[in-house]
Structure 1
């Protein structure tokens, strides 16, 4: 039966008191507002800083100062193979085998590196299929790759228009597009969660449809990693890229992540070669011929930036302790409560454009303010002044994302009460 919610402080506080994950909130620095914790709903854009990051970074700085180059071989976590300290937890987070993942570079760089290998256009099959209104990182990258290969984006960039409410995409629309254009499509590149609408996509179903048409399949998981339980290996997708500064709380501009399916682990694919992608057992022999490490690590270019990897290591350890299944269960409750508050208490003011089906969304609810963009922007600015931090996406969307590691039911209620207070004052 549907959960029973109440728009009262007593109810929200009781849920928070009974939350088995409540203690994780204390592991993060919550931005203050007027002497108390603010209400932070922007983990979909920049996650909060884990308290353990500062001492961990300080320790690495101490090793650098005390050991210098010997820090590659000594200390608690020698730098030479630092990626080893992240791999297993990263693989678990995204539902992959350890050989299939690596933390490296940033999302846009990794997307280009993956397309070097997995976008191999021909005159008969030059196209890339993306969603209309894709995040600029993806659209800029695919358009430039198409041009780089000598094709015209006007012909070879196919954009899927939303056919559902508020611009969401149905599986039927994806299937129709592949039936019509699949013979020309070299690469299908879609998001795990669409950044503006908050819609989540079915990786396995999309991959099966695309592979049946002879297309390679990749996903941008920027808004999905750390938000949804993922099963990248089982999905069959060829590759995925993502960032770690959103739900994975690894800091602004954090090191990104890459998944390459195990079936490509030793494939002779074209790629840009780099020293750190060479096999470890002969990397330091300085051989002139590139000998790739099997799996995703073979796409590395340079040795990892240790000080940038430390926050990711800390955050992955937190996720390992919390468990994505438990985090997803709490996320469903929190987002469900936020949705109920909007629909039951604020329907005259707000409209949710994210799918109502919980299986088609993560923590994020994308909200429009009734009355148009100017009212929406006015509400957003008011909320910021009240210490309630979401984010604004043009032209008229406020994104509110209760992250289960640190958000509470009381935060959701505070958002609803602030919206009503703004309306009553206006």
Structure 2
């Protein structure tokens, strides 16, 4: 095994770094803590690791000071939690002069495939002169496992598929304000492509049929590798049927009771407790996200119907039946993911008169946003409905600014409670430049 590990280490030393497009995720390492990058599979976590490695090399460090290990490498199939120490043994047998004298940068890619990996990383952090970087495809790996095993020695950062700003960088288009007329028209045109392709890096600029095929392969891997295999689900058909129903109903309300009834109608014997677990596992894997109603009472928030959103709006179009899906729901999904990049605290809101506001995002204070999503406000009745709900929400929550995201319209509306900014979605998305989503410090 030592010889295989040496071979893998040396293979990386001689390989060319594929760094792709720089991501707008200003991850900062903290002394004494592992830097953990987490997100849905194929969102670019490994490439982002290579970008961090390049920045270390650009700072003048030797390539030999980098220890990189991808745990999806099939040559590591014999590696288990009780012999992970062989990785360091192999590395220091190649570079003994670095032991306890030079800082070593350890990159462990998709380490969650080794069950019980946390004590190994904890020991490395305590006993070696090193910085540790980790990627993983399951939020559960962070929220419960790191919290208990690494005892405060990790800081985690979320990696999402390309934002619109990153998509523009990928296309080589500058998007800094102020915009000239030509650049604005170019950005609007490129948004049309982003609307079709979504944010997964691999499908950017590929033709439609190939994109759909790749999306569908992603979907299968998410369901079976991140859910069925990880949680040892004995009846995978129930969870796949549930996932497809949720994708067909993006942006719609659901309850545990109606989901359980739906699965029962298909012949699945999934109790409500199992359905609750499935929903939690979808979110663990960054595939589907649940949004609760905004309520000071957690019990009321949990008993009220919830909404469902997907990691990528274009993924939805590639895997849904299309029967119930509409452009308004896709736009709502796109806005949700933009908000989710900067905060996990997202709710929908019901005013005292029963009107619904799509999103309340952020914690109490100046940073809280109230956002309504409306494909078009051209219809006077639609305009009145959307603005009235938002005004009521702003007043009840004591917020002086609200936002309505549309496909194309832009204006500013002065109301008694403050200002409503009506923004086209492309401009709304650009407003999230350089904001970072921190999933937690454990």
Report the TM-score when normalising by structure 1: 0.26
- The structure with the largest strand share of the pair is 2
Report the TM-score when normalising by structure 2: 0.25
Query: Which has the bigger relative contact order, CA under 8 A and spacing at least 6?
Result: 1
